[in-house]
Amino acid sequence: MKTHNYKVFKCFSRKFKIGGVEPPPYVKLIFAKYSGGGTHMGPAQFRRFLAEVQGQEGCTVADAERVMEEVARRRHNHIGLTEHQSCALTLDDFFHYLLSDDLNQAIKTQVHHDMTAPLPHYFIYTGHNSYLTGNQISSDCSDVPIIKALLTGVRVIELDIWPNSTKDDIQVIHGRTLTTPVTLIKCLRSIREYAFIASPYPVIITLEDHLTPDLQAKVAEMVTQTFGDMLYYPESGCLEEFPSPESLKYKIIISTKPPKEDVEAKRIKGKENSSPRERDICEESSQKEVSDLLAELEAAERESESYEYEENSTSDGRSGQSETPKYKLLITIQAGKPKGGLKNALRVGSNKIRRLSLSEQALEKAAASHGTDLVRFTQKNVLRIYPKGTRVNSSNYKPMLGWMHGAQMVAFNMQGYGKSLWLMHGMFRCNGGCGYIKKPDFLMKKGPCREVFNPKATLPVKTILKVGVYMGDGWSLDFSPTHFDTYSPPDFYTKIHIVGVPADNTKRKTKIINNNWFPVWDEAFIFSLTVPELALLRIEVREHDRSEKDDFGGQTCLPVSELRPGIRSVPLFDKKGEKYKSVRLLMEFEFL
């Protein structure tokens, strides 16, 4: 190893080492056990390790050999493989395998949920204002964040569509703000190109429609010409049950509120034409204070939410459609707007399915007073939750409350930041990252008296999860030598959180390992879980700083239901959710 001397103020010098990491004590013990105390582990011995420690009971010797050959190719290809190297692992080979997150993944990486149930049986990876590049007030509107969202597996794209300044075309813009527009056709073409690269399962476009009937007809033309056979809509004009994700592979679905009849359309047209005047308002708003813009956003939010509860007299059939019948026909998931209060909004009809949208505040109120009604509603219908309008910096809210009540579309600002977004990223690592997660059975079942899951109920412990945190590696490769501390190696510690139903929420923390780029903690924690199906394991590494706020060293979030037992490599991500090239933890998971 190379020794560096750093002099500080010419008063003292401190020595520290930078070099490669070696296997921690526990890994040496495991290797010794399964190699029979020898210097090499053969295929039969490695297969036994995979079966007994990693939980891969169906693994064969041939399977073990294939992994061993890949490890040998990666580690020894530059000097050529010998027969001996191809059929046995040294301690360093074994350690290399354990730290390889592609060979030794912490979670299941394939689609393995039943994908043949109706759409409301799934949590769906959902974006909010998917076209915004930054904040909600003054950022650019673009197809770039839409493309990025699709490439990360997001399956619901939201577009706010408004008339352009000359009222002869459609633009995507966050109305009543300073955001700059992008054309609808550009967004649609990008969706067509990138929709199914990350996942074959359906992409849903939710339209926040502020158009006149003639422009709605133009949207219908754009959509049908852009997507062609990719576009799915029911030819009968109505659905009694949503199709399954499996049956909708490689399909585009439109969801919005159906247009009103002539009289209502004229009323809305007059109202909308008199209020937004996007370009004029943008020019006038440039002189406004931020507080005025916030007030406008809050008013628009209330208007949107109240509009969701209006009754649509033409949503039950296809008759009497003198205006834009083609546009109506293309709407597969209709936004529900029943009259009355929340209780009536959540009423489940026998032959009428719809989507209902609630703000994060409205969800909190509904959960407090109508929790089981929400669960019952989401067994057949679609519930969408969206951020409150005052989140102008594109921050997000806690998603678990929506999932606990069966909400399929917990809509997030994907261009945002923060721990809530880390949870969203982690949740949708489920099921191979395909963007659809089969909801737990308890959210879909009815009891003998038609009772449903009560999110407020106190439940017994169902699973005990043991989490071992052995060591970390990769910071010396991904960060500069002085990133964490100018004069010494970093002092890392790891925080472990369980995020789930309130009874399961807890956190633990390892000891601090001082002055080491390759910290070895060798600690284990026990978590008792009442609803493991919804639990997320949030992991964050920090670097202890005695004088300032602790530095960020990486994070990840893993769905507990997807964890693979055994000693696993866990790659870490930066604050934006981008994966580090080298930083990872060596951890162990065990269900007791």
Provide the annotated active-site residues: 128, 174
Asked if 432 and 110 touch (Cβ cutoff 8 Å), the reply is yes
Q: Which two tokens stand for residue 409?
A: 């579309």
Return the sign of the alpha-carbon dihedral for residues 398, 400, 403, 408. Answer: positive
Place of tokens 């919804």: 534
Strands 331-334 and 252-256 come out as: parallel
Q: CA 419, CA 495: separation in Å to the nearest integer?
A: 13
62 vs 93, 97, 200, CA distance in Å? 18, 17, 31
The closest of 412, 256, 410 to 336, measured between CA atoms, is: 256
Residue 557 CB neighbour total at 10 angstroms: 23
* Token output for 338: 């029943």
β-bridge partners, 586: 471, 569
Cα(297)–Cα(299) distance, integer angstroms? 5
- Distance from C-alpha of 536 to C-alpha of 157, rounded to nearest angstrom: 24
Give CA 288 to chain center in angstroms: 35
**Cα distance between residue 358 and residue 374, in whole Å:** 11
Tell me how far apart the alpha carbons of residues 392 and 471 are, in angstroms, rounded to a whole number: 39
Residues 6+ apart with CB under 8 A from 482: none
Whether residue 552 contacts residue 542, with contact meaning beta carbons closer than 8 Å, is answered with yes
- Give alpha helix (H) positions in 412-549: 419-427, 475-478
Q: Give the containing element (helix H, strand E) for 256.
A: strand 252-256
CB 579 within 8 A of CB 152: no
CA 479 centroid distance within chain: 26
Phi, psi of 135 (to 5 degrees): -75, 170
